[in-house]
Amino acid sequence: MSTLETFFQEVRARFPMLQRQMNGHPFIYLDSAATAQKPDIVIDTIATFYREQYGTVHRAVYATAAIASEMYELTRRKIASFIHASSENEIIFTRGTTAGINLAAHSFGKAFVTPGSEIMITEMEHHSNIVPWQMMAEERGAKLLVVPFFDNGELDMQWLKSHLSERTKMVACTHISNALGTINPVKEICDLAHSVGAKILIDGAQSTPHMPIDVQDMDADFFVFSGHKVIGPTGVGCLYGKRELLEQIPPFEGGGDMINTVTFEKTTYNTVPLKFEAGTPMIAEVIGLGSAIDFMQSLCLEKVHAWEQELLGILLPQMQEIPGVKVLGTSKHKAAIATFSVEGIHPLDLATLLDLRGIAIRTGHLCTQPIMRHYGLSAAARASLSFYNNKADIAAFIKALHEVIAILR
């Protein structure tokens, strides 16, 4: 057993769900691209907070409120370090990636997008990085441009370059496709966007849990991710924005905590980042996310990426050897995601029989209907890995896949 394998086998033991049985079989979880399992420390942190430390934040001077406020803001500092932001004041807590993109689209559009402006997205985006820009473009009279991708899952970078212009106000691009697994050249895309004066938002929902992130090095204007994909709680996420840009755009929501003064004549807003955090926040969720970030930092993201790539290198060749199986997305730079179709078999039937064997995969359009249409599909199946998976998971999955395909044929 390699050093990496031994290390992550010990890490796996920290995840209670992965010690369970499902339908009489060891539980094999292959749906981390949808949501990650939680380690004991995150579960315990949230329970302890509710039992022993609970209080509101930013609003009171009593002891537990002060403790809660410090823990809440400590998470902001942890995230700034985790993604290499220049300041914790560039970190805005949201309900997740979707909420972060909606905030950015609405507020940026209101400040900078006018009739005739262009917004560029890609054909491989999750619906969460399509619909908010469509809504904003319709509202502001802007045009939406869509960068196509090749059948191997790689973006047509020449198309992207040739369609950027002074009319381009925003480029919104996924770092890693949740369906194709493609790792996009986001640093290059950021440079190209900035060369025409455009801003850029990177959807980091799939990259943040699996590889080191440096928003300053990539020079992203906005970067978003979800807590539940980074082994943290649901209902919380993060929007990073460059400080000077956050100062220029208006708040998305109004209410408590995002204000400085309120009169019936006029309201003035709080400073960044509180200007964008209206209402009582997700206190326990943010504190739980802080614990998850600590856990991820302790693993070393370089090790995480290396182990997941090793597992992917075992999984893909075995899947591709199965007659009738077609893997979508074969980019040279690919994350540990294997979306596939099986000739003559509906993915829902496939997943149902796998579930009876204790194996959890995702099926459907994966919130990427344009990708499905690209390949002439309405739905597909997806097996997605994380650092807590191991070689035994892959062996069991491949064995079960052979079995259920034989049954369904």
Half-sphere exposure of residue 198, counting CA atoms within 13 Å on the CB side?
27
- pLDDT number for residue 380: 98
What is the reported pLDDT for 60? 86
Catalytic residue flag (residue 367): yes
Separation between Cα atoms, residue 129 and residue 148, nearest integer Å: 15
Exposure class string for 54-80: b at 16+ Cβ within 10 A, else e: ebbbbeeeeeebebbbebbbebbebbb
The stretches of 25-114 forming alpha helices (DSSP H) are 40-48, 63-83, 97-112
Per-residue confidence (pLDDT) for residue 1, from 0 to 100: 77
C-alpha–C-alpha distance, residues 119 and 125, integer Å:
14
Residue in 116, 109, 112 with CA at minimum distance from that of residue 136 = 109
Domain with CATH 3.40.640.10 in the chain: 44-298
SS3 label, residue 179 = coil
Task: State the pairing for strand pair 222-226/237-241.
Answer: antiparallel
CATH of 44-298 given 3.40.50.1100, 3.60.15.10, 3.40.640.10, 3.20.10.10: 3.40.640.10
Helix ranges restricted to H, 321-380: 347-355, 369-374
Identify each DSSP E strand in 243-334 by its residue range.
259-262, 267-269, 325-328
Closest by Cα among 46, 84, 77, 56 to 228: 46
Which residues make up the CATH 3.90.1150.10 domain(s) of the chain?
Answer: 3-30+301-408
Question: For domain 3-30+301-408, is the CATH number 3.90.1150.10?
Answer: yes
SS3 45: helix
| The pLDDT value given to residue 59 | 84
The structure tokens listed for 162 are: 């040739």
Residue listed under structure tokens 């074969």: 330
Which pLDDT score, from 0 to 100, does residue 84 have?
Answer: 98
Distance CA 316, CA 29 (A): 17
Q: What 3-state class would DSSP assign to 128?
A: helix
Q: Is the dihedral of CA 402, 405, 407, 409 positive or negative?
A: negative
Residue 57: per-residue pLDDT: 96
pLDDT per residue as tens, the chain (409 positions): 789 999 999 999 999 999 999 999 999 999 999 999 999 999 999 999 999 999 999 988 899 999 999 999 999 999 999 999 999 999 999 999 999 999 999 999 999 999 999 999 999 999 999 999 999 999 999 999 999 999 999 999 999 999 999 999 999 999 999 999 999 999 999 999 999 999 999 999 999 999 999 999 999 999 999 999 999 999 999 999 999 999 999 999 999 999 899 999 999 999 999 999 999 999 999 999 999 999 999 999 999 999 999 999 999 999 999 999 999 999 999 999 999 999 999 999 999 999 999 999 999 999 999 999 999 999 999 999 999 999 999 999 999 999 999 999 8
- In order, the DSSP letters of 288-313 are HHHHHHHHHHHH-HHHHHHHHHHHHH
- Report the DSSP beta bridge partners of residue 155: 149
Is omega for the bond preceding 273 within 30 degrees of 0, making it cis? yes
The dihedral formed by the CA atoms of 5, 212, 145 and 381, expressed in degrees to the nearest 10: 20
